[in-house]
Amino acid sequence: MLRLAASVAACGSSPADVPAASASTARPTPDAAASLPPDVDRTPGPASPRPTDPVVTPGRSAEPEPSGTAAATAVPTASGSTAGLPPGADACTGSAENRDFFAAAAEAMSWDVYCPVLADGWFVETGAYRLADGGRLDITYRGPAGERLELRQGAYCADDAAACAPRAREIGPAAFGDRSGLLVALGGSDADGFAVYVNAGDAPAWALTGTGMDATGLAAIAAALHRVSE
């Protein structure tokens, strides 16, 4: 299973994009990390022999400072259509180091890699990708009012569709960037969260799950996912 390495990155163009002091730990660029032999661990810190493939994590930076005002009741969704956005990772929400992470993953994977395009106030909570067994990428984002997104891509589940894509009920078709997916409710209320699944139970597959928002909010974020792979 994937070991997620905690990392936090401010989204948008706010001062929170500046890496925190902890990011000064020396590590190679994502391109270099992804090309290393499969017995080298690429989690933060000095490389050491491991019986696993490289695990590459996004950069680390400070969570946005509280504004001192009450959180907005409206859930920020996608910042708009991806039409006209720059190609590659330049359109991805987050810091330059976050965008480098997605660019390196897209270059390393044989399947299409997607990134979120979010409103200001979202930041990366944890994330990593690895190349073994077909490759997988898992990254989570935290929103300004406590919303949470998890984006999973690649060979992240080896079970059948029911196990890889849990649901309480199906809501209907939904876009996942330039792909067609299925919007589902994860429980009996909005608090349980929602998900959009593509190709569940196969590899590659894609999934976006969200809590702290309604089905319409998650569907808007899923529709605006940007394909990094060119």
pLDDT, one tens digit per residue, over 151-210 is 999 999 989 999 999 999 999 999 999 999 999 999 999 999 999 999 999 999 999 999
Count of domains observed in the chain: 1
70 within a domain of the structure (yes/no): no
Distance CA 61, CA 160 (A): 37
**Residue 64 predicted with pLDDT over 70:** no
179 within a domain of the structure (yes/no): yes
111 within a domain of the structure (yes/no): yes
122 within a domain of the structure (yes/no): yes
3-state secondary structure of 104: helix
39 within a domain of the structure (yes/no): yes
Residue of higher predicted confidence among 163 and 58: 163
191 within a domain of the structure (yes/no): yes
DSSP characters over 128-145: EEE-GGG-EEEEEEE-TT
3-state secondary structure of 115: strand
52 within a domain of the structure (yes/no): yes
Mean pLDDT of 3-32: 37
User: Domain range spanning residue 215?
Assistant: 5-19+27-61+76-227
pLDDT score recorded for residue 83: 59
Q: What is the total residue count of the chain?
A: 230
Query: Tokens 């090309």 label which residue?
Result: 35
Q: How crowded is the C-beta side of 171, counted as CA atoms within 13 Å?
A: 23
Residue 94 burial (C-beta neighbours within 10 Å; 0-12, 13-18, 19+): buried
Is this prediction's pTM over 0.85?
no
Residue of higher predicted confidence among 109 and 51: 109
Out of 2-11, 67-76, 78-87, 187-196, the most confident range is 187-196
71 within a domain of the structure (yes/no): no
Phi, psi of 216 (to 5 degrees): -65, -40
